[in-house]
Amino acid sequence: PEIKGDEAYVKLEWDEDCDMDIILFQTMTGEYMTEANPSLESGSEILKTGTSDTGFEIIKIGDIFLEGVQTIYACDADAAAVVPVGDEIEPFALPAVVEFPEGGFTITVYDSDGVVFKRTTARIDTIYQLGYFYDGEFYILEGFIEDLKNFDWLRDIKPDGED
């Protein structure tokens, strides 16, 4: 699609038999855009929900100039459903053992200037923070997040009753 000056698109692609999701967090509203909450008042929305069959997901960020920070995450939804998060994590406890699929994923961020970020990882893990939009500019933060103490929202990324 033609990308307007205040929009951006994020595409997540994977080859393995897993269910990856793109999560958008808006700091000013405290809202997370997930499959359980697929659109936000700012005009952001999930355009194509990925599954293990399709191997890709696409979201639109409706306003990259929105006040505050809009952080983008890639998440293995299957792992998020079983990994201890938030208050479930005991101090100094070993993390749960999760079987992550082999392979990795590619995530691409586009705005009206074209591709502003593209990265292919060699692994899939619970959550990957790739970067954020602030005042229309994209900033890279990339890395896997190992400490899930503040990620209670991972439990709520899918609609009720859906795995």
Please state the φ and ψ torsions of residue 77, each to the nearest 5 degrees. -60, -35
Amino acid identity for residue 40 in this structure: L
Flag the least confident range among 19-28, 37-46, 126-135, 149-158.
149-158
Distance separating alpha carbons of residues 144 and 133, to the nearest angstrom: 18
Instruction: Specify the range with the lowest mean pLDDT, choosing from 47-56, 75-84, 107-116, 124-133.
Output: 75-84
Residue 49's pLDDT is 84
pTM, two decimals, is: 0.82
Give the whole-number percent of the chain exceeding pLDDT 90: 40
* Model confidence band, residue 140 (pLDDT cutoffs 50, 70, 90): very high
The pLDDT assigned to 114 comes to 95
